Every structure is written in C-alpha cells, then in structure tokens.
Amino acid sequence: MHKIITLFFIFAFFSGFSQDKIIARQGQVSFFSYTSVENIEAVNNQVLSIIDLSNGEIAVNMLMRAFVFKKALMEEHFNESYVESDIYPKLQFEGEIQDFDTIGTTAQAKIVKGAMTLHGVTKDIEVKTTIERLDSNYILSGDFEVGVSDHDINVPPLLRPNIAKVIKIMFRFEYEPYGD
Amino acid sequence: MTRKFKIAIIGLLPLLVYCCFLCLEYYNKPPRDTATIETDVKISSDKLAKSFSANEIKANTDFVEKTIEVVGSIKKITNVNNRYTVLLQGQNDASHVICDVLPSSMEKVKELKRGQTVRLKGICKGYLLDVIMLNCILING
C-alpha cells in the first residue's frame, strides 16, 4: 500500500499530464477527543494532498509527528504510546472523489471513497466532503470519525477514561495547480 | 489516631501538596521554545532535502526530532489557515524545506522576499514531498 501511494505521488509530480494535477502542500487536519475527564485536540498544518482532476483520484499523506498539541506531555504520549510515530510515521489515504464535477463553480457535496492506513492498519472509509472552486484553485473540507480500536491503537486501562473511543477528524485542503 | 500519626500526617502534607504541584506543572508543560533549545545540526536547505530524497530511513535517524538551523533561498512564503510558512528551495523545483513559523517570528517573516537567503531554526518532523520543519524562528534575514 505504501509503495502504491508513493508511486502515486511520484507519478503526480513527474507525469507529463501535470496540468491535470492539483496539490495542497499545507492542508490542515485536526482531531478532537471529547470525554468527561478531559478534551484533547491537535492540529497538523503540513498535510500533503494531490488530486488528479482527470479521474477524481485523491491521495493524502501526513506525518503523525507534525500534530501540534497545547501540552507537551499529550504530544509525547500521542507519538510514543498511541500512534507509535517511530514505527508508523505517516497516515496515508488513497481514494476517489465520486462524481467529481471539475468545471462547476458552486460548492459541491461529494463522497470520497478510499483506503486509509493509520498505525499500520488499512481500512476502507467513506467521507462526505464539500468542494469549492475558486478559478483554478479548489478547497476540500469536511469531517469524519475514526474508532481508536479500528486501528489497533492501544490505550492503557488507566488512561481509558481520558481518551474517546471515537475521534472526530476535521480537514481542510486548499489546492493549487501543482506547477505554481 | 495516635499523636505520632497526626504529626506524621501534618508533616507529610506539605510534601504531598508539593508533589501534586510538580505533577500538575509537568502535565501542563507547554511545548519547548525553539529559541532556547541548542541547535543539533546546521545545514543548507538543498542538502537537507537531498538527504531525505536519497535515503529517507537514514535521514529520519539523522534529522527527525532534531533542532536544525537551515539556510536557503526563499522559494515562497504562504499564509494558509492563519499560519505563515516559508518554503526554502530544495534540490529541485518539486522538493522544498517547509518551515512552519512560530507567531513570534511572523512579523519579521512578512517582510521577507522571494529569492532572499535566510537562516531559520526549527524542529525537523520528517519528509513527505518536502522536508517538514515546525516551530521555526527566523535567525537572520
């Protein structure tokens, strides 16, 4: 799976049909865990994504270590105990925007179907997204939920009350033609 | 409750409060300030990007979570999602060093120009198509 995604990015950059590709080097992905004990949130402002406008294929790649927390200890626990960033440094998603209208200028609500690899576990997901077009630039935004146990993320029994079983993920990507 | 036990409790109470205070302070500790952290590596942006594209596994060991001073030519300055980011030229036009700037350096970064050579200090987080550095501050520009 990792090789396929890497090849997608390489293809996107060195393909002769580069005018069909749009890129967001600084996409934003944030997550929120709500429990009665404490709320945990973090944001990653350096998420990479490429869309092939000719077929609606989309790839997202991000570094787990690039999530920023308000408290240093939360960041330490997140990277060392939960997502194990040394072993699984990246989250990767590869999918397709269903019925993507690349010409329309009004905001579109679309479904993105694909496979997300987190903590070494790949799961098929469907995400509802809003797509806006501003000239040659596109903005994709939306949110979805991820079950902690779906990706074999182990939370120590003592800390279970502090971590929600389902984490809300929010995203926003601003794409531009990749040659710019 | 014996008198000795009461004295012991009263004696230990300040220690217990102090321990709670230390734990709370440790728990709420904010992320480290880049300006006060000692630099681990000084390198040019093209060499840094080249190190990752040549051998990402080795570069992860050499650079990830290290405090790096990187010098390079500004390819672009962006303001996305209320974050100022300086893209330094990598070894080619497809790969850069992305420096996510701390609010303390934002005003100085706004005055920088494309093509200018600058030195930034930050924490290296890894490599996607570009090398990602967070908590960056401007050393000179």
Tens-place pLDDT, residues B26-58: 666 666 788 899 999 999 999 999 999 999 999
Q: Any idea where the domains of chain A sit in the sequence?
A: 2-8+23-177
User: What is the least distance, in Å, from the CA of B117 to any CA of chain A?
Assistant: 21
Contact between chains at A75 and B31 (C-beta distance less than 8 A) = yes
Task: Classify domain B34-140 at the CATH superfamily level.
Answer: Nucleic acid-binding proteins (2.40.50.140)
Domain A2-8+23-177 architecture: Beta Barrel (2.40)
ipTM score: 0.83
* Residue A69: strand pairing partners: A42
Contact between chains at A68 and B31 (C-beta distance less than 8 A) = yes
Residue B73 has pLDDT above 90, yes or no: yes
Residue A85 has pLDDT above 50, yes or no: yes
**Number of C-beta neighbours around residue A1 at 10 A:** 11
Residue B98: its chain A contacts at CB < 8 A?
25-26, 46
Say which of B30, B87, B94 has its CB closest to residue A72.
Answer: B30
Contact between chains at B128 and A61 (C-beta distance less than 8 A) = yes
B105, burial (CB in 10 Å: exposed 0-12, middle 13-18, buried 19+) = buried
- Say how far apart CA A27 and CA A80 lie, in whole Å: 24
CB B39, CB B67: distance < 8 Å: yes
CB A29, CB A47: distance < 8 Å: yes
Residue B93, pLDDT score: 76
Q: Return the number of CB contacts < 8 Å for A and B.
A: 69
Tens-place pLDDT, residues A64-78: 999 999 888 889 989
